[in-house]
Chains A and B, each alone.
Chain A
């Protein structure tokens, strides 16, 4: 669509330059340009002030030390060198990566749900609504709720574990989810999966499934392929563009995530075990007013996202099948 639409325009532009232009044509072209600039103006100005210039400014900030009270001091690469030696930065980067384990697990869950829903069964609208509920709810209310669910003594989660133990005949006791350094990260991952599994990704998978031609399955059945073979040879390759799209978006989002839930549920603790890079940037900038250092971290985060996305993109090019 893109190409066919822009091509005649470009050609038009060339002929405009080559042929001797009549005055009226000149006037029309400049009128069009003026109109275009007027249409662009509001968005462009806002974009300039709140996105483009801040990006430039943020880059410069990375080279200064500034507490907003005294004048900024130029320190060159000092922030970046300090960052490289900062054990907390490495710890929080590890936390961020660890919590991103929830992404592939959640994607598998979304695909499983989409497969289950992509059939002629009753109550689809009901199921779709129910699964979408956690996505639609404002995060903070969910986080408050889950802080209660994870309460070790009278929360829902440990109650279920305890009752399960009763049934099996084992004295199972759930952990102190949010206050135990070992369990806080898994707790946030589980909650994240619950929150997103039936949301956007599942609907994208469902749309992808509905786009696969039915006769392919019929042909495979006649050839004697079983359900598993049909999934691996038809469904999965056809869904690869969807998987790739979800993967890229989740990867980019994943590196920047973790602040809201940790802020409300654990305050980044216990002992910094749920602090992510984003949380560290927030603390540096808005709790300790290390503006320069925070800006430097944000650029390193950008670099990390860029590298991982490029890497994923390159590997995706080989594995995605566009039908």
Chain B
């Protein structure tokens, strides 16, 4: 009898413990979520205020003044007119697409060579690739800039695209993934008279979709967000990428907060929408890279 009672008690205790843990988790997550979202909401509401209201808002009221009494959509119109955001968007999309395509394609090819084909000097070359992964970007930006300057490529799209296209990281990541693929299919294809490119194209690539998707996402995001390099090599206004364009916009209207928030909002919104719909893939990609890379 007493044994059953203690068992019941301990079960109850366990249940209680778990409920407490859950409650704490909700509080932690909830408070965190508020602090994550609040800045974005603040950005949205500010972008819809009259310029003068920004200075008034915090002196007297608390929540009330977060929401503007009348929505001033003109801020967006004005930001759109003042800055060629559409142009910046196109530049960013074009540069990110080219970089990503080049990166994924050349990395897949070299990753295939390193993982599946035998050639003299393979190990040494691969070690050479790995060694340069440790070199910080700071070391290469200066000579690459000098090189591009000599070629007369400064202030061109290719000056942004090409240096970002060839990385040891992509090769390394895909090589690791290709290593884990079974060889049977390849052998069968070889017997059927398939050449190396056929094997690469028809067998290796279709089997590697998750890894390719991960590399694609990372490269695209990296290119989309990269700031320093485009800032260095691009000078004319109509070629700027979105981040550099936004920084330039800020330097012109550094205290025009409603306008700045409207501009930033326009920069963020499409990315936010894409992310909310595809967040699963991002998350899976990170897990994959954390295990493999």
Chain A residues within CB distance 8 Å of chain B: 1-2, 5, 9, 12-13, 29, 32-33, 35-37, 39-40, 42-44, 46-47, 49-55, 57-58, 61, 68, 112-113, 115-117, 119, 121, 125, 127-134, 136-141, 144-149, 151, 153-154, 156, 159, 162-163, 194, 197-198, 200, 203-204, 207, 221, 227, 242, 245, 252, 255-256, 259-260, 263-264, 277-278, 281-282, 285-286, 291, 294-295, 297-299, 301-302, 305-306, 309
Residues of B near A33 (CB, < 8 A) are 117-120
Nearest CB in chain B to that of A115: its residue: B25
Q: How far is the CA of A74 from the CA of B167 in the complex (A)?
A: 31
Choose from B162, B167, B224, B275 the contact partner of A132 (Cβ within 8 Å): B275
Residues on B with C-beta less than 8 A from A148 are: 43, 46, 257, 260-261
Q: Would A54 and B179 be within 8 Å (CB), given that A40-B110, A117-B29, A156-B38 are in contact?
A: no
- Map CB proximity to A onto B89-126 as digits: 1 under 8 Å, 0 otherwise: 00000000000000001110110111101111010010
Given the complex of chains A and B, what is the CA–CA distance between A29 and B21 in angstroms?
62
- Name which residue of chain A comes closest to B122, CB basis: A36
Q: List the A side residues contacting B196 at CB < 8 Å.
A: 32, 35, 39
A39's partner among B14, B117, B138 (CB-CB below 8 A) is: B117
> Are B165 and A46 touching (Cβ within 8 A)?
yes
- Whether A55 contacts B140 in the complex (CB less than 8 A), given A35-B196, A112-B28, A116-B25, comes out as yes
B225 on interface, CB distance cutoff 8 Å: yes
Bitwise interface map of B from 223 to 237 toward A, beta carbon under 8 Å scored 1, else 0:
011011001100000
Stretch in B68-76, B142-150, B206-214 touching the partner: B142-150
- Beyond contacts A117-B25, A139-B227: 18 other A-B pairs, Cβ-Cβ < 8 A, are A12-B118, A32-B117, A35-B113, A37-B119, A50-B163, A50-B166, A54-B144, A117-B29, A127-B29, A133-B37, A140-B243, A141-B268, A144-B260, A149-B39, A156-B42, A259-B228, A298-B141, A301-B138
Q: Is the CB of B143 within 8 A of A61?
A: yes
The reply to whether A35 and B166 form a contact with Cβ atoms under 8 Å apart is: no
Can you identify 22 A-B contacts, CB atoms within 8 angstroms? A29-B118, A49-B147, A50-B144, A50-B163, A50-B165, A50-B166, A51-B168, A52-B132, A58-B143, A61-B142, A61-B143, A131-B33, A138-B246, A138-B267, A140-B242, A200-B290, A263-B227, A263-B231, A295-B143, A298-B138, A299-B139, A302-B136
Q: Do A203 and B39 touch (CB < 8 A)?
A: no
Shortest Cβ distance from A47 into B: residue: B166
Which residue of chain B has the shortest Cβ distance to A8 in the bound complex? B183
> By the criterion CB–CB under 8 Å, are A55 and B268 in contact?
no
Does the CB pair B138–A43 fall under 8 Å? no
Within 8 Å of chain A (Cβ to Cβ): is B252? no
Determine whether the beta carbon of B271 is less than 8 Å from that of A136: yes
Q: Which residues of B are at the interface with A, using a C-beta cutoff of 8 A? A: 14, 17, 21-22, 24-26, 28-29, 32-33, 35-40, 42-43, 46, 54-55, 57-58, 62, 105-107, 109-110, 112-115, 117-120, 122, 125, 128-129, 132, 134-147, 149, 162-163, 165-168, 171, 176, 179-180, 195-197, 200, 221, 224-225, 227-228, 231-232, 242-244, 246-247, 250, 257, 260-261, 263-264, 267-268, 271-272, 275-276, 279, 282-283, 286-287, 290-291
**How far is A152 from B227 in the complex, measured between Cα atoms in Å?**
27
